[in-house]
Structure 1
Amino acid sequence: MLYNFVLFLHILGAVIMFAAVGITLTAMIAMLHSTKTDYIRIWSALAVKLDGLLPFSVILILLLGLYLVISTWGWGKPWVDFSLAALIIMTFMGPIINLRRLKAVLSAAITETNEVPSSGLIEKVRDRVLWNSVLIMTMLTLAILFLMAMKIALLGSIITLVVAIILGFIVSKIVLSRASTKIATSNNTFIEK
């Protein structure tokens, strides 16, 4: 009975993490397509706030996951070890890469005086490092879920994480290349970026 309750809370932590990563990604896509500075300000503020949910979800996942590993699964299972490694990597990527850059976008949007985003603000929104990081984290989240469900061996666990990282880079490149390259100027004409 205790195992099932702990497993439920562990899964709840994963759901919170998925929600935070998903809404952050949604906010970033909205910023990418925003034609008004106010929209970038609103979406970046949301993304910064949601980044605060990640540490809570990681603590929930880690503490309860450790209990599940110690009480039932044991160490040395590749899917356990690689899921833990991916989660720890994500724990550092969030505040070190994502939060700093999202705060920079928010700060630039707050100080922006024009209704139409400046090229400097758009550059911050299109930050390739930020996009790579968020999309790699998104793919790693899916990879962890896959590893937990499939409980695969060493080679499969390695391949899963490598594929997740590669997909993160690929999706980031696609999203940024498909984003509108035209910026509305204040006189309602468009210029190429």
Structure 2
Amino acid sequence: MMSPTHIATGVAIAAPFAVLTPELATLVALAAMTGGVFPDLDLFVGVHRKTLHFPVYYWGAVLAAGVLAVAAPSTVTIAGFFFFLSAAVHSVADWFCGGNELRPWEKTSEHAVFVHPLGRWLPPKRLVRWDGSPEDLLLTVLLSLPGLLLFEGPVRLLTVATLVVAVVYATVRKRVPDLAPWLAE
């Protein structure tokens, strides 16, 4: 899935706070949005969907951060919990997308996300055929609705910016390998 989808997932994860505890809503949303995009930083460092994608280990961090947030609630511990929760969801969600390849619509890779404790790649399920596919864009739009309807200020602004990036990326996705040959290196 494209990064905007993972950012929008963070907004959706934070949505209950907009209603139940509005004083924490912005903090929770921003932490979840940041956690949602964090694993994709391995596009720039290491191996994508391996270096910062931890579909198992993040859940341990979620558990530890959750215990800490309950035992010593603060903005830092609560934000940490939602950061790790969103990063964990991201890492698992990529398993349901296409393979980890420059042209995932060609289906030449059976590497969706690396599972470190097993020392192997999970094969892609391809429910979302590739990052930037029409269904990926639709998912981004749907997951962004809470950010547009329930939040104000920076969360709403970032949600709008995320949607703009998603539309542009989905529009040019199939041309990205030709436009940016350095990605293949």
Same fold per superposition (TM over 0.5): no
TM-score (norm 2): 0.38
TM-score (norm 1): 0.37
Higher percent of residues as helix: 1
Who wins on radius of gyration, i.e. which is larger? 1
